Structure 1
Amino acid sequence: MNILILGSGGREHAFAYQIVQSSKCSKLYVAPGNAGTAEIAENLSLNPIDFAAVANTALDKEIEMIVVGPEDPLVKGIVDYFANDERLKNIQIIGPSSRGALLEGSKERAKEFMAMHGIPTAAYESFSFESLDAGKNFLETLKPPYVLKADGLAAGKGVLIIEDLKEAKKELENMLSGKFGAASKKVVIEEFLDGIELSVFVLTDGKNYKILPTAKDYKRIGEADTGLNTGGMGAVSPVPFADETLMSKIEERIVKPTVNGLMREEIDYKGFVFIGLIMVNKEPYVIEYNVRMGDPETEVVLPRIKSDLVELLEKTWNVTLDKAQLEIDPRSATTVMMVSGGYPESYEKGKVISGIKEIEDSIVFHAGTKQEGNDIVTSGGRVIALTSFGEDYKMALKKSYQSAEKLQFDKMYFRKDIGFDLS
């Protein structure tokens, strides 16, 4: 079948890498893609949130399946757009409806969903500018640090964790006054949970589900998780502390109630649920839902799936996921992200990347790259993810770091301590 992947990052390159290996894929397109996807698929100059253009291209190229990488098109309703058009409704589009996508599109909605279906999460309240004083009063009832979350999508920057009460009150006012634009018209304030984080990924057809490999990513720019938040500096899969006992708790208390909740609320959901978790005294709590795969976690989760990914996605669309076999590579996979100097703040683009062809022991996933003449150059903050396999995460990381030494571009930076908190 002809398949279209929407998106341009390392996540989408990882999807492309898996999908082209499927006997069911005859032609693969990525829109808009990057220099890496261009090597294994045909890039299309399309904006994923221009639904009319995506639809016309899907018809023109006889696309039978669309895999939606980023959250924005899902929250804006691409699945509904296709479902409501006679010409498009039989195209297998992998992702939730806009109602389902609200689990990521609104922090308040996600919290309400968790409360309604008995899913463990931090205590919270949400506030608008009209209830600013009530928000400040609520902060006084909490112990520091204080967690403030913009309700809407804020490109991964809408969460603040603040130690000082006075500063937290000021930031609440700033957020409700438009610090993150429309995303922080409402702010969710929640209690701080102290523990270690991991991510669980679920593929669901809205009724059945498969739990994919676990992963742990590293968001901060600096070693030992210091400095500014980024889109992600590296990831490890599986998570060593996610043993059978913990996974059983996660499935019973979180995964099953989530899928059952979607069914009970009659939400059309055929796609991925990314569950951000924190372990507090060995008990799992949900920090957040995302309605797509994470980045860079996808770069370690998908390569460990030995089953035919297109077959899994077909069964997701047909609501027969219970008939699918999910085979997982028992080895560990790690990825280390090469980023532009200055990221996540201002950085320069157009730096020539060398050494890619010398890398043999890692999979090179392009994130922010483009082809310029004979050169591959940087075009984003996160540039390349180097994914490696090993008998354990330490052996896998050793390979990723050896590969990193072969790669070069001006002001290249990467964290040298991915997995530091796992040993």
Structure 2
Amino acid sequence: MNILIIGSGGREYTFAWKIAQSFHCDQLYIAPGNAGTELIGENVDLAVDDFEGIGQFVIDNDVELVVVGPEDPLVKGIRDYFEADETLIKIALVGPDKIGAQLEGSKDFSKVFMEKHGVPTAKSRTFTADSIEDGLVYLQECNLPIVLKADGLAAGKGVVIAKTLEEAQRTLKAMLLDKQFGEASNKVLIEEFLDGIELSVFVLTDGENYVILPEAKDYKRIGDNDTGPNTGGMGAVSPVKFATKVFMERVESEVVKPTITGLQNDKIDYKGFIFIGLMNVDGAPFVIEYNVRMGDPETQVVLPRIKNDLVELLVKAADGKLKDYQLEVSPNFATTVVLVSGGYPGSYEKNKSIQGLADVTNALVVHAGTRQEDYEVLTNGGRVLAITGMGDSLEKALEVSYHGVKNIRWDDMYYRKDIGKDILRLQLD
């Protein structure tokens, strides 16, 4: 089977690494890929939203399975494009259509969906530039801290937790009037703050049946001890101690099942991943947000723990045949530490030479923002690499990850030193 992965980050590298292990994979393509995926399959110089180019490539190269990594092509309707073509409609594609992708593409849409179908979530109201005065008054009625979310896609950076009323009002004005996040902040949700511990739950559904993948916890802020601005993710761990059997049973009954039923009731034909950002509030699950693809960097700790042939799993989801599928998960721990360019998530320089890649032997080196030039691997993004380690304890997995980190270097490289330490403290309590 010829397979195409769409995307260029750490998530897509990890998909490529796992898919290449399948006996069902004959030829693997990644569009556009990075310096690492080029060593696993064949990179294709196509933008993720070049639907015409992607469609023609699929036809010309007898591709039978398309795995869509990032959210942007899903929100723009890549499934709709395939389904409108009599040749492409036959291709197995993992990812929802344009309507289903609004679960991530519009936080207002997802909130309405959750409230309609009884999915537990924080109370919120949505405001626009025309109703900003109402929003400023509403902020005065809210308890502190206050969460403000840009409605649209903002690369994981469109959420601000304001600790004072003045900061909340200033942020609302910046989002709505100054277009802090561009069109993504044409609408802004003002949401109550949930006091708990966050985790990510991943579901793969064929539209009717589903499989719950290993859970994970990621670390969004740039600085140690969760300080500084949000990023796309600085590291992740799986499994998560506080995701107990009882809690996960509540997640399935109170969140996953109502979500899948809601999609069916709303006539949304959803075949793909649902990444559910959750808050564990005293043992009760509340949904922070939906995403319509796998997470990054969570994929880097979720896929290594799955024992099944990933291609078989993806094809069954795309073909509507997940019923009674049994997922096998390793009991081992997986951890990943993200290495970023200095200055990220603000401005940063590219084209720094990366040294030491061949010196990492026990960990998985996941490429994200990299490119190759004249046999040299260079930085090509904010999040450049992720180092994933595994072990029979969280301590051992972290030891493998950080030992790998110490071998990598480039000018102005940065990483968090405290990934997983909060979970280790929980284990001691």
| TM-score, normalised via structure 1 length | 0.99
- Secondary structure of 2:95's match? strand
Q: Shift of the alpha carbon at 1:394?
A: 1.4
Give CA deviations for 1:1-49 in whole Å, capped at 9, x if unaligned: 1100000000000000010111111100000000110001000000010
The residue aligned with 1:331 is: 332
The residue aligned with 1:247 is: 248
The answer on 1:407 being equivalent to 2:373 is: no
The residue aligned with 2:62 is: 62
The residue aligned with 2:292 is: 291
CA distance in 2 between counterparts of 1:18 and 1:45 reads: 22
CA distance in 1 between counterparts of 2:24 and 2:7 reads: 21
Letter in 1 for 2:35: A
CA distance in 2 between counterparts of 1:215 and 1:420 reads: 14
- Secondary structure of 1:96's match? coil
Q: Is the 8 A contact 1:224 1:420 kept in 2?
A: no
**Percent identity over paired residues:** 58
Give CA deviations for 1:85-114 in whole Å, capped at 9, x if unaligned: 111100111000111000000000000000
Q: Is the 8 A contact 1:107 1:151 kept in 2?
A: yes
CA distance in 2 between counterparts of 1:83 and 1:294 reads: 25
- Secondary structure of 2:414's match? coil
Q: Is the 8 A contact 1:148 1:160 kept in 2?
A: yes
CA distance in 1 between counterparts of 2:244 and 2:280 reads: 12
CA distance in 1 between counterparts of 2:244 and 2:391 reads: 19
Q: Shift of the alpha carbon at 1:392?
A: 1.5
CA distance in 1 between counterparts of 2:411 and 2:188 reads: 39
The residue aligned with 1:237 is: 238
The residue aligned with 1:32 is: 32
- Map 1:113-262; keep pairs closer than 5 Å: 113-177=113-177, 178-262=179-263
* Bigger mean CA offset, 275-284 vs 65-74: 275-284
The residue aligned with 1:354 is: 355
CA distance in 2 between counterparts of 1:87 and 1:184 reads: 38
RMSD, aligned CA? 0.9
The residue aligned with 1:48 is: 48
- Secondary structure of 1:343's match? coil
Gap runs ≥5 in structure 1? none
CA distance in 2 between counterparts of 1:219 and 1:244 reads: 25
- Secondary structure of 2:56's match? helix
- Secondary structure of 2:99's match? helix
Give CA deviations for 1:302-324 in whole Å, capped at 9, x if unaligned: 11111011101111011110142
Q: Is the 8 A contact 1:368 1:379 kept in 2?
A: yes
CA distance in 2 between counterparts of 1:257 and 1:93 reads: 24
The residue aligned with 2:103 is: 103
Letter in 1 for 2:409: Q
Q: Shift of the alpha carbon at 1:174?
A: 2.0
CA distance in 1 between counterparts of 2:348 and 2:183 reads: 26
Q: Shift of the alpha carbon at 1:167?
A: 2.6
CA distance in 1 between counterparts of 2:283 and 2:324 reads: 32
| TM-score, normalised via structure 2 length | 0.97
CA distance in 1 between counterparts of 2:104 and 2:115 reads: 15
Q: Is the 8 A contact 1:2 1:64 kept in 2?
A: yes
Q: Shift of the alpha carbon at 1:340?
A: 1.0
Letter in 2 for 1:326: L
The residue aligned with 2:266 is: 265
Letter in 2 for 1:185: N
Q: Shift of the alpha carbon at 1:390?
A: 0.8
Q: Shift of the alpha carbon at 1:166?
A: 2.3
The residue aligned with 1:367 is: 368
CA distance in 2 between counterparts of 1:2 and 1:25 reads: 6
The residue aligned with 2:23 is: 23
Q: Shift of the alpha carbon at 1:129?
A: 1.4
Letter in 2 for 1:384: L
Q: Shift of the alpha carbon at 1:395?
A: 1.0
The residue aligned with 1:340 is: 341
CA distance in 2 between counterparts of 1:45 and 1:54 reads: 10
CA distance in 2 between counterparts of 1:321 and 1:90 reads: 18
Letter in 2 for 1:2: N
- Secondary structure of 1:80's match? helix
Q: Is the 8 A contact 1:365 1:386 kept in 2?
A: yes
Large movers: runs of 4+ above 6 Å? none
Q: Shift of the alpha carbon at 1:163?
A: 1.3
Letter in 1 for 2:181: F
CA distance in 2 between counterparts of 1:148 and 1:191 reads: 9
The residue aligned with 2:92 is: 92
CA distance in 2 between counterparts of 1:23 and 1:374 reads: 30
Letter in 2 for 1:398: E
Q: Shift of the alpha carbon at 1:351?
A: 1.1
Q: Shift of the alpha carbon at 1:325?
A: 2.3
Q: Shift of the alpha carbon at 1:276?
A: 0.2
* Bigger mean CA offset, 247-256 vs 179-188: 179-188
Give CA deviations for 1:324-364 in whole Å, capped at 9, x if unaligned: 22111110000011111111111111111111111111011
CA distance in 2 between counterparts of 1:130 and 1:374 reads: 54
CA distance in 2 between counterparts of 1:113 and 1:95 reads: 19
- Secondary structure of 1:357's match? helix
- Report the number of matched residues: 423
Letter in 2 for 1:40: I
CA distance in 2 between counterparts of 1:354 and 1:76 reads: 37
